[in-house]
Chain A
Amino acid sequence: MTTAPVGHGTMLRKEDARFIRGRGTYVDDVTLPGMLYGAMLRSPYAHARIASIDISAARAHPKVRAVLTGDTLAGLNLAWMPTLSGDVQAVLATDKVRFQGQEVAFVVAEDRYAARDALELIDVDYEPLPAVIDARQALAEDAPVIRDDLEGRTDNHIFDWETGDKAAADEVFATAEVVSKQDMLYPRVHPAPLETCGAVAHLDKVTGKLTVWTTTQAPHAHRTLYAIVAGLPEHKIRIISPDIGGGFGNKVGIYPGYVCAVVGSIVTGKPVKWMEDRSENLMSTSFARDYHMHGEIASTRDGKILGLRVQVLADHGAFNGTAQPTKFPAGFFGVFTGSYDLTAAHCSVTGVYTNKAPGGVAYACSFRITEAVYLVERLVDVLAFDLGMDPAELRRKNLLRPEQFPYPSRTGWEYDSGDYPRALETALDLAGYAGLRAEQREKRERGELMGIGISFFTEAVGAGPRKHMDILGLGMADGAELRVHPTGKAVLRLSCQSQGQGHETTFAQLVAEQLGIPPDDVDVVHGDTDQTPFGLGTYGSRSTPVSGAVTVMVARKVRERARIVASAMLEVSPDDLEWEKGRWFVRGDQASGRTIQEIALAAHSDLELPEDVEGHLDATCVYNPPNLTYPFGAYVCVVDVDAGTGQVKVRRFVAVDDCGVRINPMIVEGQIHGGLADGIGMALMQVMAFDEDGNHLGGSFMDYLLPTAKECPSWELGETVTPSPHHPIGAKGIGESATVGSPPAVVNAVIDALRPYGVRHADMPLTPAAVWSAVQGRPLRTDLAIT
């Protein structure tokens, strides 16, 4: 690993030098002269009418410069802001509070301490209202109406959405030999990036330019939204997303705190920093999942899967603020047919309001493919249980075959490429599947509980074709710009943004591979809207599929420009030149070549160029992906369960991922490690439950548990490579694969371990108490308070 590859291959991350020295620059590291500090007052109630807000004492605090309330913002027409799902969300509450932790007032003070002190001086008179906590009660006749701010609203219904062919699915189910059904909950969880959300806003009153340093995964989209919402001219807005300490979808949307920091800067004329704390992050920012699912799977008696039928009740919280392509209200849940060859499928999703925080698409979920994969992989195991069939054998029998690709799915997706049986067999071999089953048999005889869980997932990432995919009208295409300096060093300007994915390394390697220069000679600029071309940002595993593609294309464009310059240097026709990594040479004369560095210098020199060539090698490009990419993988998890306590120990985890061509295998493996740990977290310990009054029961890291190294086995990774046919280097996204694929593997393993007790299903998280309760035949409702 000492010599960096010229192009793709494992190399250490260029950005780590500053991170491991503590020299990164995160939003909270930004300090400006005269900067003030904001703090947010939040609702203690899940649902309450605001009778009055008295800010006089807070305003009288000697260090307080401004206090904002919903009324202040209403005067600026900013009390409500549009969400990414076409709803509106209160920036600061005016009429009611609708979830515990909702933003009520914003104090701007000379320091953080004074800002917090002043919050305690604000007197809000709340009239508590009954709250809707259990999503399954949201549509009840007598349920309180949460969104009475919306004209004519008489219930908590948001949308109905469906996909697939209902008639065809019903027909398959009517005649199927076997139908297995299961209700399952993918509980509300939180991505919990270690860096919480925040912003430093600075409106320069002289130039009229607003600069916002902020925790965003999509700086360009944010700039456009600020322009639309606040009515500021877009060229007078600069969004800087500096080093970001994890995003996982938590930093896609715009939060009230950001808007308040901007307004705070406008009213005080000073830069204003607002940085939320851990509890604020967990309680009020974009959650994930909260899908109450009913699944049905039809098959023949010998295990040929025929169809799927699914109904989902989706808890969207108090405002419909999910971040996904606008035409997909249930995200990409429509990919729920998974990796299987079946005859018909249908799914319907109903979205409802509850008195909980808004959000819903986060935590590396690939726009809800996490929920979809969990559903189908659990259903397949439930079917295996009912048929008395080995779950590996059942999958083997039903996986799509290589010759079926590109595969048009029953719900309208076109899977680009895949060799599923190869991935499954690779994983089973790595795990020593037959041996594990033998060991399990022996252990069961001794009364010990050991479980083996399999999941096979198909992801759909790299949104997306702008014809189908946009966010509030902004098509999901990405730009890139590549400059080559006279000495052959390069600067790549990207529209996407890194929250820890290693873009500064990977994207330099993409350019290096195309131009044949060392990755260290390529500087990657990202996260600053004044410095980079437009694009939709980093989430949904889209960086490599979309920005990676445009990077390759812009580098190839530079290479073609270099060809013209080289032809002038060598006085031959461009057609007579041949490329080898790092140089153009005259075909048939190896010694004749010019390196990219020589060509770059010549491009800036007095060399006479063909008439229509203006000099320099720089190029820009925009990439509109023709399709998503479809990474996939096969996971095997082995657990031991303590029959006396219900504690689950993940003993082994085998993950075989196919994400097409790997640019930097080390970074790919790092992403997989992280996602697998996430999966263990979700499967075994993470949940945001609420009591009947709507109190959040997971508002700190004491109650909302992140997995540690002690819960993680030494990951055993394998790979297969099936290139994407439409991506310029055959790469697919990888950022979310493991988060999507691992939870069902862990759950399937635990349920398998509990087989001697006849347990067929239990909802996540499988805490010791949940496992024990499942064994007792009284499974827990994990989304509610345990009583």
Chain B
Amino acid sequence: MQVPAQFRYEKAVSVEHALTLLGRYGPESRVVAGGHSLIPMMKLRLAQPEALIDINDLHELAIISVERHVLCIGALTRHADLLSSALVGEHFPIFHDAERVIADPVVRNRGTVGGSLCQADPSEDLSAAFAAVRGEAVIVSPEGRRTVPVREFFLGPYQTVVDPGELLVQLRVPIRSSASAYQKVERRAGDWAVAAAGAELVLDDGVVADAGIGLAALGAPNFHAREAESFLVGGPATDERFAEAARIAAEHCNPIADQRGPEEYKRHLAKTLVTRVLSVARTRWHGLHSGEKAR
């Protein structure tokens, strides 16, 4: 039986309290929310935090709302709640696409959005989805709050800009007229991605006005494909241009070989998946704007 090493346990009753506890226990403490990465790592003794600060009672961090044209997702929002939120689905179907293929219902019932981002696993789907739609992370500390673009949130695998003593409290995505989609290749339901891609498109009379492309498990810097996005903007939303954007995305990502596949295959998937999600996003755009002339 796997059992963790000894640790202290504290239950935070407010965000302020959580920050106080983080200050008291210092860098060797860890925040626990859903615990679906941390607890298994502790049981395997890959992680041996001295203290766990449980934020599961901070219900104010589990709210999904729209404030002044910004979709606000509390960091403690469970995957299942993100998936069942009509508000989220209406504005950013990319999140529903992603949530449908994140782990399994048992994990989704407990795992949280903020926990997923803070874990910063290179294969994390929501990191790619938030990167695609250019979300922002709201981080608080005893000194106050700061907002960091998700595209600047990650410092590397398992590393984020959230300092010890800080707490991620919310993800924010400005709402605009757009269409988005997410797809993932996995070896089995619930497996981490072999590769995954998400896209957001804003079209204007058949021309790409804005584009976001998120990549997971592909070694893309900060989970997005900047060069491919730049290529797309200003050009027509055609299959050919999508394919070229996908080729650029595949060229600029940096996947590593593991038991999910060789590097070459993962680059191939980057190309395939980027093409597909752009195409789905375009179809959704036209679905939303059926009055307009298709392409």
Q: Is B259 interfacial (CB 8 A cutoff)?
A: yes
Q: Is B108 interfacial (CB 8 A cutoff)?
A: no
Q: A111-119, A186-194, A468-476, A591-599: which lies at the B interface? A: A111-119
Q: Is A73 interfacial (CB 8 A cutoff)?
A: no
Q: Is B190 interfacial (CB 8 A cutoff)?
A: yes
Q: Is A668 interfacial (CB 8 A cutoff)?
A: no
Q: Are B187 and A768 in contact (CB under 8 A)?
A: yes
Q: Are B265 and A769 in contact (CB under 8 A)?
A: yes
Q: Are B261 and A769 in contact (CB under 8 A)?
A: yes
Q: Are B3 and A767 in contact (CB under 8 A)?
A: no
Residues of A within 8 A of B187 (CB): 684-685, 705, 767-768
Q: A260-268, A275-283, A447-455: which lies at the B interface? A: A275-283
**B5 nearest in chain A by CB position:** A117
Q: Is B153 interfacial (CB 8 A cutoff)?
A: no
Q: Are B269 and A786 in contact (CB under 8 A)?
A: no
Q: Is A647 interfacial (CB 8 A cutoff)?
A: yes
Partner of B259, one of A28, A275, A785: A785
Q: Is A711 interfacial (CB 8 A cutoff)?
A: yes
Q: Is A21 interfacial (CB 8 A cutoff)?
A: no
Q: Is A20 interfacial (CB 8 A cutoff)?
A: no
Q: Is A384 interfacial (CB 8 A cutoff)?
A: no
Q: Is A507 interfacial (CB 8 A cutoff)?
A: no
What is the CB-to-nearest-CB distance from A688 to chain B, in angstroms, rounded to a whole number?
10
Partner of A767, one of B45, B189, B257, B260: B260
What is the CB-to-nearest-CB distance from B280 to chain A, in angstroms, rounded to a whole number?
13
Residues of A within 8 A of B189 (CB): 708, 710-711
Q: Are B262 and A645 in contact (CB under 8 A)?
A: no
Cα-based distance from A28 to B1 in the complex (angstroms): 9
Q: Are B262 and A769 in contact (CB under 8 A)?
A: yes
Cα-based distance from A711 to B189 in the complex (angstroms): 7
Residues of B within 8 A of A558 (CB): none
Q: Is A76 interfacial (CB 8 A cutoff)?
A: no
Q: Is B67 interfacial (CB 8 A cutoff)?
A: no
Say yes or no: A275-B269 contact (C-beta < 8 A), given A703-B259, A708-B189, A787-B257.
Answer: no
Cα-based distance from A113 to B6 in the complex (angstroms): 8
What is the CB-to-nearest-CB distance from A447 to chain B, in angstroms, rounded to a whole number?
14
Residues of A within 8 A of B268 (CB): 772
Q: Is A689 interfacial (CB 8 A cutoff)?
A: yes
Q: Are B1 and A705 in contact (CB under 8 A)?
A: no
Q: Are B190 and A786 in contact (CB under 8 A)?
A: no
Residues of A within 8 A of B45 (CB): 116, 120
Cα-based distance from A588 to B124 in the complex (angstroms): 79
Residues of B within 8 A of A646 (CB): 185, 265
**A770 nearest in chain B by CB position:** B261
What is the CB-to-nearest-CB distance from B198 to chain A, in angstroms, rounded to a whole number?
16
Q: Are A773 and B262 in contact (CB under 8 A)?
A: yes
Q: Are B3 and A116 in contact (CB under 8 A)?
A: yes
Partner of A787, one of B2, B190, B260, B262: B262
Residues of B within 8 A of A278 (CB): 2
Q: Is A434 interfacial (CB 8 A cutoff)?
A: no
Cα-based distance from A278 to B194 in the complex (angstroms): 23
**A119 nearest in chain B by CB position:** B45
**B266 nearest in chain A by CB position:** A769
Cα-based distance from A647 to B276 in the complex (angstroms): 15
Residues B226-265 near A (CB distance < 8 A): 257-262, 265
Residues of B within 8 A of A780 (CB): 262
**A111 nearest in chain B by CB position:** B3
Q: Are A786 and B188 in contact (CB under 8 A)?
A: no
Residues A140-197 near B (CB distance < 8 A): none
Partner of B194, one of A28, A120, A769, A787: A769
Residues of A within 8 A of B1 (CB): 28, 112, 275-277
**A702 nearest in chain B by CB position:** B192
Q: Are A786 and B44 in contact (CB under 8 A)?
A: no
Residues of B within 8 A of A645 (CB): 185, 269, 272-273
Residues of B within 8 A of A729 (CB): none
Q: How many residues of A contact B (CB 8 A)?
A: 37
Q: Is A130 interfacial (CB 8 A cutoff)?
A: no
Q: Are B185 and A113 in contact (CB under 8 A)?
A: no
Q: Is A128 interfacial (CB 8 A cutoff)?
A: no
Cα-based distance from A156 to B44 in the complex (angstroms): 34
Residues of A within 8 A of B6 (CB): 113, 117
Residues A643-692 near B (CB distance < 8 A): 644-647, 684-685, 689
Q: Are B276 and A644 in contact (CB under 8 A)?
A: yes
Q: Are B257 and A786 in contact (CB under 8 A)?
A: yes
**A785 nearest in chain B by CB position:** B259
Residues of A within 8 A of B258 (CB): 786
Q: Are A707 and B262 in contact (CB under 8 A)?
A: no
Residues B1-56 near A (CB distance < 8 A): 1-6, 44-45
Q: Is B191 interfacial (CB 8 A cutoff)?
A: yes
Residues of A within 8 A of B257 (CB): 786-787
What is the CB-to-nearest-CB distance from A38 to chain B, in angstroms, rounded to a whole number?
11
Partner of A697, one of B194, B259, B273: B259
Cα-based distance from A117 to B5 in the complex (angstroms): 7
Q: Are B3 and A647 in contact (CB under 8 A)?
A: no
Residues A681-738 near B (CB distance < 8 A): 684-685, 689, 697-698, 700, 702-703, 705, 707-708, 710-711
Q: Are A113 and B265 in contact (CB under 8 A)?
A: no
Q: Are A647 and B188 in contact (CB under 8 A)?
A: no
Partner of B265, one of A116, A702, A703, A772: A772
Say yes or no: A767-B261 contact (C-beta < 8 A), given A275-B1, A685-B188.
Answer: yes
Partner of A708, one of B188, B192, B269, B272: B188
What is the CB-to-nearest-CB distance from B259 to chain A, in angstroms, rounded to a whole number?
5
Residues of A within 8 A of B273 (CB): 645
Q: Is B205 interfacial (CB 8 A cutoff)?
A: no
Q: Is B104 interfacial (CB 8 A cutoff)?
A: yes
Residues of B within 8 A of A28 (CB): 1
- Mask: chain A, 495-534; 1 = CB below 8 Å from B; 0 = not: 0000000000000000000000000000000000000000
Say yes or no: A768-B261 contact (C-beta < 8 A), given A644-B276, A702-B192, A705-B191.
Answer: yes
**B258 nearest in chain A by CB position:** A786
Residues of B within 8 A of A786 (CB): 257-262
Cα-based distance from A689 to B1 in the complex (angstroms): 24
Residues A276-298 near B (CB distance < 8 A): 276-279
What is the CB-to-nearest-CB distance from B205 to chain A, in angstroms, rounded to a whole number?
30
Cα-based distance from A685 to B189 in the complex (angstroms): 11
Q: Are B188 and A705 in contact (CB under 8 A)?
A: yes
Residues A593-645 near B (CB distance < 8 A): 644-645
Given contacts A276-B1, A767-B187, 11 further A-B contacts (CB under 8 A): A112-B1, A113-B5, A275-B1, A277-B2, A685-B187, A698-B259, A710-B188, A711-B189, A768-B265, A769-B194, A773-B262
Interface, chain B (partner A; CB < 8 A): 1-6, 44-45, 104, 185, 187-192, 194, 257-262, 265, 268-269, 272-273, 276
Q: Which 9 A-B pairs have the closest CB atoms?
A: A769-B261, A710-B189, A644-B272, A277-B2, A705-B188, A645-B185, A769-B265, A112-B3, A708-B189
What are 16 contact pairs spanning A and B, CB under 8 A? A28-B1, A113-B5, A113-B6, A117-B5, A644-B272, A646-B265, A685-B188, A700-B44, A703-B259, A710-B188, A711-B189, A768-B265, A769-B262, A772-B268, A786-B258, A786-B262
